[in-house]
């Protein structure tokens, strides 16, 4: 049995029931084989065994009082995965489905993603099973303040810098940072995705979606194509989806679908993003309300966007939202590129189908790295007490996404095949992690 196969088997056995974590391990470890063969020092140094085990996992109680006066208790998590490159860095997710398994798979992926950015950030992830949907602003604030009353002792500008993810946007980050500052008495920028008025970076809100489109642009360029006049199918209607749509539209594409967990809209004339922003960012409403604003639009409360014929597919909602049947539909419709805005958007069988087809598949740890990359830029601005213009940040984001594409595509050619951006991203991230971990000794 190879080194990677042995560690995969042992890690799965050691973490029973953590199916998302198993999936991430199964997607990553086997692709590292060619690199591990070339670098026997990795096995000698127990590199993989150390990499799959988080440095620290924190689970805590979050009690808070709802608007009716009742006490509620949620569970909080922070998994500090790997600090070889810098402070742990990764988002916080609020969703009822969150458990230790979710946070571990996200933290593991994040470690590779952050390595690919080349910025000084380790990997981590956090979250809670709290559901912000339908809660008042006061309830969300009470919850966030209680979360930080425990979390503050584990985070800090040089130790662990959280950010947003599903269910955590500017409102939640403001409440979290405010309470962190109050308890610690320090304004040190811990938390990224802050509003630019009190220390956030311009361009962070847009960064994941824009970065996803910049990455996809590189893939299209390799095919001699551009976004112009392409039909783009997007899932989700949150932070990543909205700004992926915005940049794709700016580049001349037509975005024809968006969705939420209730259903999807199909607007063949091209989605009006101002309406989506109004519904989602201001009213916190449902995507179904879009049909009240525009004629000729269809709303489906069943089915999924991937059956809609398109040239480019950008999953931007959640994990495992694109399965084998969806992949078959996309391939059958001659979709050129599937690029992941969400983390682990695609099931394993769908990944295999896409890789065997002529559709190019780009994994999230490369394609959606723009968000955390601009978080890294926010940290740099905070520690130098400077603000960069939106243009400066966007320019840096473009360069980072291009560099990631170059790393991923050249690594794919060297160790697998040109189209295998999965191996390219995994080995690209791993090679840097290995080198740095070997230099820091057995820790």
Closest contact distance (angstroms) between CB of 51 and ligand 2IT is 18
How is the beta sheet containing 263-266 ordered, strand by strand?
298-300, 263-266, 254-260, 231-234, 312-314, 337-339, 360-362
Structure tokens at 392: 């400066």
Catalytic, out of 125, 254, 280, 365? 125
**Could you say whether residue 200 binds ligand NDP (CB under 6 A)?**
no
**Which stretch in 12-20, 57-65, 148-156, 238-246 sits in contact with ligand NDP by CB under 6 A?**
238-246
**Could you say whether residue 91 binds ligand 2IT (CB under 6 A)?**
yes
Question: Could you say which residues in the range 201-220 bind ligand NDP, by CB under 6 A?
Answer: 208
**Could you say whether residue 167 binds ligand NDP (CB under 6 A)?**
yes
Binds 83, which of ligand NDP, ligand 2IT, none (CB < 5 to 8 A, cut-off by type)? Answer: none
In Å, how far are 58, 258, 327, 329, 352 from 357, measured between CA atoms? 42, 25, 10, 12, 9
Q: How many residues does the chain have?
A: 443
Q: Which residue is nearest to ligand NDP (CB)?
A: 238
Question: Could you say which residues in the range 279-338 bind ligand NDP, by CB under 6 A?
Answer: 316-318
Structure tokens at 17: 């029931």
98: left (phi over 0), alpha (psi -120 to 50) or beta: beta
Cβ atoms of 375 and 161 closer than 8 Å: yes
Closest contact distance (angstroms) between CB of 417 and ligand NDP is 26
DSSP assignment letter at 114? H
Structure tokens at 54: 């988080």
Closest contact distance (angstroms) between CB of 111 and ligand 2IT is 11
Contacting residue, 101, 165, 246, 394, with ligand 2IT by CB under 6 A: 165
Stretch 357-396: interaction string toward ligand NDP, x if CB under 6 A: -----------x--x-------------------------
Report the C-alpha gap between 222 and 245 in whole angstroms. 21
Q: Strands 123-128 and 263-266, how do they pair?
A: unpaired
Backbone angles phi, psi at 46, to 5 degrees: 60, 35
How is the beta sheet containing 123-128 ordered, strand by strand?
56-65, 71-82, 123-128, 88-94, 160-163
Closest contact distance (angstroms) between CB of 101 and ligand 2IT is 16
Q: Any catalytic annotation for residue 125?
A: yes
Nearest 5 degrees, angle CA 120-CA 404-CA 190? 30
Closest contact distance (angstroms) between CB of 287 and ligand NDP is 7
**Could you say whether residue 201 binds ligand 2IT (CB under 6 A)?**
no
Q: Strands 254-260 and 160-163, how do they pair?
A: unpaired
Size of the site for ligand 2IT (CB under 6 A): 12
Stretch 69-108: interaction string toward ligand NDP, x if CB under 6 A: --------------------------x-------------
**Could you say whether residue 239 binds ligand NDP (CB under 6 A)?**
yes
Binding stretches for ligand 2IT (CB under 6 A): 89-91, 110, 113, 163, 165, 192, 343, 371-372, 375
Binding stretches for ligand NDP (CB under 6 A): 95, 164-167, 169, 208, 236-241, 260-262, 316-318, 341-343, 368, 371
> Active-site residue numbers?
125
């Amino acid at each position: 049995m190879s080194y990677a196969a042995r560690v995969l088997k042992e890690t799965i056995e050691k973490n029973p029931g953590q199916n998302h974590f198993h999936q991430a391990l199964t997607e990553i470890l086997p692709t590292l084989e060619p690199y591990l063969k070339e670098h026997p020092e990795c096995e000698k140094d127990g590199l993989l065994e150390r990499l799959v085990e988080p440095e620290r996992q924190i689970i805590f109680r979050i009690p808070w009082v709802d608007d009716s006066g009742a006490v509620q208790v949620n569970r909080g998590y922070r998994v500090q995965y790997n600090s070889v490159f810098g402070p742990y860095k990764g988002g916080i997710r609020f969703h009822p489905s969150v458990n230790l398994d979710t946070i571990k798979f996200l933290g593991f992926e994040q470690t590779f993603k952050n390595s690919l950015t080349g910025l000084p950030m380790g990997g981590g992830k956090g979250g809670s099973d709290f559901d912000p949907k339908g809660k008042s602003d006061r309830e969300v604030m009470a919850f966030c303040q209680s979360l930080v009353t425990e979390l503050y002792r584990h985070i800090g500008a040089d130790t662990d810098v959280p950010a947003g993810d599903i269910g955590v946007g500017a409102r939640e980050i403001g409440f979290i940072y405010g309470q962190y500052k109050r308890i610690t008495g320090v304004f040190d920028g811990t938390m990224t995705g802050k509003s630019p008025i009190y220390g956030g970076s311009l361009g962070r809100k847009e960064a994941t979606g824009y970065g996803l489109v910049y990455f996809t642009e590189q893939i299209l360029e390799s095919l001699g194509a551009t976004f112009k006049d392409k039909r783009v199918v997007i899932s989700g209607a949150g932070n990543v989806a909205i700004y992926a749509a915005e940049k794709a539209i700016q580049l001349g594409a037509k975005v024809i679908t968006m969705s939420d967990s209730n259903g999807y809209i199909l607007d063949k004339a091209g989605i009006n993003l101002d309406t989506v922003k109004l519904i989602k960012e201001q009213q916190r409403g449902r995507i179904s309300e879009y049909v009240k604003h525009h004629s000729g639009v269809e709303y489906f409360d069943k089915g999924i966007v991937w059956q809609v014929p398109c040239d480019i597919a950008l999953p931007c909602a959640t994990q495992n939202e694109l399965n084998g049947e969806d992949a078959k539909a996309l391939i059958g419709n001659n979709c050129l590129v599937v690029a992941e805005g969400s983390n682990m958007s695609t099931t394993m069988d769908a990944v295999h189908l896409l890789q065997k087809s002529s559709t190019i598949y780009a994994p999230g740890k490369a394609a959606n790295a723009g968000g955390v990359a601009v978080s890294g830029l926010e940290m740099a601005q905070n520690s130098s007490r400077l603000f960069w213009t939106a243009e400066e940040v966007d320019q840096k984001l473009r360069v980072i996404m291009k560099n990631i594409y170059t790393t991923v595509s050249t690594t794919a050619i060297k160790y697998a095949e040109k189209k295998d951006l999965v191996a390219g991203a995994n080995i690209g991230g791993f090679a840097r992690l290995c080198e740095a971990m070997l230099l820091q000794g057995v820790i």
